[in-house]
Structure formats: C-alpha cells, structure tokens
Amino acid sequence: MPSAPEILEPNWAGLRVVLIGATAGMSKRDVRKLLAARGAELSDDLAAGVGLVVVGEQDLPPPDLPERIEQAAGDSTALRIITETQFYELLGLDETRRQLHRLYTPAMLAELLAVPTAAVRRWHRKGLIRAAREVRKLPYFDFREVQTARRLAQLLAGGASPQEIERQLSGLRKLLPFVERPLEQLSVIVEGSELLLRQGDGLLEPGGQYRLDFEPAESPNTTPTTVEPLPDLADGLSPPRSAMTLREAAARCEDVGELAEAADLYRAALATSGPNAETNFLLADVLYRLGDLGGARERYFAAVELDEDYVEARANLGCLLAEERRFDLAIASFEGALRFHDDYADVHYHLARALDAVGRRGDAERHWRAFLDLAPDSPWADGAQRRLSEATNKFAD
C-alpha cells in the first residue's frame, strides 16, 4: 500500500482528497471548504485519480481499508495516506490538531458531560472507556474516549441504568463477537435509553431485532431498576466473598442510589482484604455523597497513608478540606499532589482557589496560569480566566 515516509505539503491545486471514516476535528463540510480555498477537491469516492487519503480519527478505520486503497491506487505511487492529525498539520490548523490530543481527567470529563465523577470512574473500571495514559493512578482520557463517554451519558440521561447499559453492550458483543468495543468501533446511535446499531437503512437492537430507521422507539422502560442480590453480611452460613465481589456489589448499589448499603459493602471489602488504598478512596467518595464529611476525610487520609502517590485521593482530600474552610490543610494536600504530579491541572485550579481564599493572590495567580496552560479548554477554564483577569485588573489599579 503506497504511502509517503514524510508528511510533506502536497500541491493542493487540482488535488482530489478522500476522507475515510468519521473525522473528530471538524465536519466534512468544513473540510470541503478548506480544500476548495486551496484549489483542491473533496471526493466522495475512493477511485482512480485520488491523490490523498485522510483517515478520520473519531472511529476505527474500516477493516477493508487497505484493500480499498490498493484497488484505488493501482500501480500509482502518487497516492498518499495520512491521518486526520497529519492532515490538519499540513493545513496549518495547529489548534484543531491540538484539540484531537486534548486529555481529560475524570473530574473534567464528568463536568463536561454533567455526570457524577463516580460514573466516569465506573466506566473506566468496567473498560467502557480507556485511559490514553495514567499518571500516579490518575487516568487521562482523549477525544475518542470523550465521544464514547458522551454516548454513555446520553443513555444515562435517557433513563438507562448503568446495569442496563452494560446489558445492551453485552448484547451487541454477542451479535458481533469480533467487536470488542461497540461504542467506539460501530456506527451506533442513542435513542432515549436504547442503544441501536445502524445497519443499512435500518437499526438493529442489542437483542437482534431489526427496526426500520423511521419506526419510533417504544416508550422507555420505566420499571424501577432492581439490583442483583447483595451479600448477606450477617449470614455466617454464606460462603466467604472476595473483596472484589464486595466492591462490585457496592458499585451496583451506588448505581441505584443505595449509598448507605454501598458504604457497608466497601467496609466489608476492607474487613475481608485488609487495608487497601483504592477501597478507602471509593468508600470516601460514598461517604462524601452521604454528607458524612468527617468519615470521608478520614478515608481519604487513609488512602493517602496507604499509597502516598495516590494523587486523586490527595486532590479529593484537598477539595473536602477547602469545603470545610480548613484552607491551610487543603493547600498542603494540593501541594502534596503536585509534588507527585506537577501537571495535574485540576489541582492547580483548586489550589488557586484555596490560595485566593487566604489572600495569597500572587501564589494563586501562578496556579491560575498553570491551570490554563495545562487545560485551556477545560470546562473550568472560563472561570479561571475571569479570576485571573480580575486579579490582573486589581494589580493594575
């Protein structure tokens, strides 16, 4: 399959370009306009005469792509195949190219999608979204995973429970066993609480039933979500359960809002396995949501004591201490997180707020700037920019 070893700018005049797959950075119409301004043409068909193939980065490329390109290229050595990122680089669209590689922490992703941070962590633990990289146990998610998470959030908003989402995804995997990650690899749409696979002129339900595209969906299932049977902690005759089983049962309780039961199960997991930083962290989150700030604080402390570079636990502890207006301790917790992970944008943001609260304006300004340098497109960026502008104006006065 012919391809160029270096990404050199082509002669755009008269060049025919084909997009393969969905683009993540801009619409097909916008791409067409950009090419037309340079004298190039966006072609809808991969046929003879095409000089440049751009592979979109929102979805995985189709499996038959190499064969299609070889057929179109024939004996030509002029055909070039590049990625969407390389395409934007050639066009000089550095901002668009940078956006494709933007990374989000769980808290940023939760804020962007208006879902609980616990939901994002659960998707990650279940493998529904995957981290582009991980620093000190802190996962970072890229643009592709944001798109997947957005569909999951749409399903939640449509009334589907996390268990129902996993059931539907399992159904799609059974229909198409060669597909590991349906939300990323397949052309799926979200309709209310349903996940549908586009097949030709119709839609395929996870159970295998075919639906014409214009058929309305049935009313969403409003039957109350039921939780799988939970361990009977008081039944001495029950077989012993592993800490992992108890944690999974706790997560199911969280999904349906049974937070007190989830807390008991996380405690049982700790009793089963002994001290564990991750379980303490999960228990702290549940206790915080229950309004037990003192209990949550102690569990975050325990997580940090068990694993000193658990930066997300340090960050959450700092946020809780700041909420209690114990700013000196909050600042110490945030600074501890930055000692292990200096590029943790969330912490720069929360530390700047805490420093502002105690009147350390100059130090706060440094962290506002660090946050904006690291995460200029964060859901919190506008607020940070306003606060920095206010500080600058006060200094000027």
Q: CB of 51 within 8 A of CB of 76?
A: no
Q: Which of 13, 18, 47, 45 is nearest to 31 (CA)?
A: 18
212 Cα distance to chain centroid: 31
Tell me how far apart the alpha carbons of residues 117 and 110 are, in angstroms, rounded to a whole number.
5
Note the pLDDT of residue 222: 39
Strand partners, 202: 199, 212
Note the pLDDT of residue 312: 96
Note the pLDDT of residue 170: 77
What pTM did the predictor assign? 0.66
Please give the full DSSP string across 209-220, using - where no structure is assigned: -EEETTSPPPPP
Q: What is the mean pLDDT of each run of 10 residues along the chain (397 residues)?
A: 54 87 74 88 79 74 66 64 81 63 87 90 87 89 84 84 78 67 58 63 61 48 43 48 90 90 96 94 97 98 96 97 98 97 95 97 95 88 90 62
Half-sphere exposure of 124 (CA within 13 A, CB side): 22
Strand partners, 194: 191
Q: Which domains are present in the chain?
A: 16-100 (3.40.50.10190), 106-212 (1.10.1660), 231-307 (1.25.40.10), 330-397 (1.25.40.10)
Note the pLDDT of residue 60: 55
